[in-house]
Amino acid sequence: MKDIIIIGAGPIGLACGIEAQKAHLSYLIFDKGALVNSLYNYPLNMTFFSTSDRLEIGEVPFISNNPKPTRAESLEYYRRVTSHWKLQLKLYEEINTVEKDAVGFSIVTTKDSYTARNIIVAAGFYDRPFLLNVPGESLSKVLHYYKEPHPFFGMNLVIVGSANSAVDAALETYRKGAKSVTMIIREPKIGDNVKYWARPDIINRIEEGSIKAHFDSSITEITPNEVNFRTPKGEQSIDNDFVLAMTGYQPNFELLESLGVEFHEDAFRTPVYDSTSMQSNAEGVYLAGVVCGGLKTNKWFIENSRDHAHLIVKAISEKGN
């Protein structure tokens, strides 16, 4: 029986493993994908909003070419951290079921079964996109992830959303030769949380007409050759080859519910937890990282949730498990 099973091999899950190792607690870190899988799925040319020093874990320095590191630099850094600490990983091994018993938890994965006294949920949300829920969303031309601009060269592209991911995709595909880039945005303007160097760029491109934008608008139907959408001026239709639905992502609420975690009665389904120990209402179940914010996925980041690992392992150590 392990002292701790950690669900999620992102930066915060790795930080939890490091703290467990420092406290001489036995642990395993599980992820259904690759190491730092969410970061791996970021756009190839993405630059972080945070500076490299604020992404550091495990007392391992993060040196990047510029103050704000790139995706490639972050992947290299977290590989180096993992190797330095010789972290105990179970990658590409998804958790199927977790059951509580008198002494701890029984975990069944896609490959094996395990037992543990405590569970830390450090799972991200990047692999669970919000759907548009419109006819035609299942067409192969509709994508919820953006990697690079090359596939959209010479194409009529629709981008849904106005946050960082949508803005980055719009600017990059426009500059790399998309035939047309049209943004369909529910809100009345580009989001205020857009990266400070990208926001004036996208606003200027929209104002000059290089990138078209329809505000207070929403898609009603996607067909093989067109996108139909509703605007304040009425229904419209445009030629279309691809739709990038940059509509955001959500935590794995089903996993939390299966562990007995309760939620506050708010609009964000914020899970119940003690901020001094990060233990949820369910005994032995701890929460770390972005999952603590529920649907408010812009509340917790690597830089402001790194200390969750220390709080959790300290609490587990003090109760004698």
Q: Per-residue confidence of the chain (321 residues) as pLDDT tens digits?
A: 999 999 999 999 999 999 999 999 999 999 999 999 989 988 888 888 889 999 999 999 999 999 999 999 999 999 999 999 999 999 999 999 999 988 899 999 999 999 999 999 999 777 778 899 999 999 999 999 999 999 999 999 999 999 888 999 999 999 999 999 999 999 999 988 888 889 999 999 999 999 999 999 999 999 999 999 999 999 999 999 999 999 888 888 889 999 999 999 888 899 999 999 999 999 999 999 999 998 887 788 899 999 999 999 999 999 875
Does 149 lie in the same domain as 233? Answer: yes
Residue 303 lies in a domain: yes
Does 156 lie in the same domain as 110? Answer: no
Last residue of a domain, one of 227, 245, 263: 245
Last residue of a domain, one of 196, 224, 245: 245
Per DSSP (E only), the strands in the chain are 2-7, 27-31, 89-91, 95-100, 105-109, 113-121, 142-143, 156-160, 180-184, 212-214, 218-222, 226-231, 234-239, 242-245, 285-287
Structure tokens belonging to residue 314: 């300290």
Q: What 3-state DSSP class applies to 193?
A: coil
Residue 63 lies in a domain: yes
Q: What 3-state DSSP class applies to 64?
A: coil
Residue 309 lies in a domain: yes
The C-alpha atoms of residue 173 and residue 298 are separated, in whole angstroms, by 25
- H-assigned helices in 235-297: 253-258
- Specify the number of domains making up the chain: 2
Does 121 lie in the same domain as 6? Answer: yes
Domain extent at residue 146: 142-245
Does 152 lie in the same domain as 93? Answer: no
Residue 77 lies in a domain: yes
The C-alpha atoms of residue 192 and residue 186 are separated, in whole angstroms, by 14
Return the bridge partners of 119, or none: 5, 285
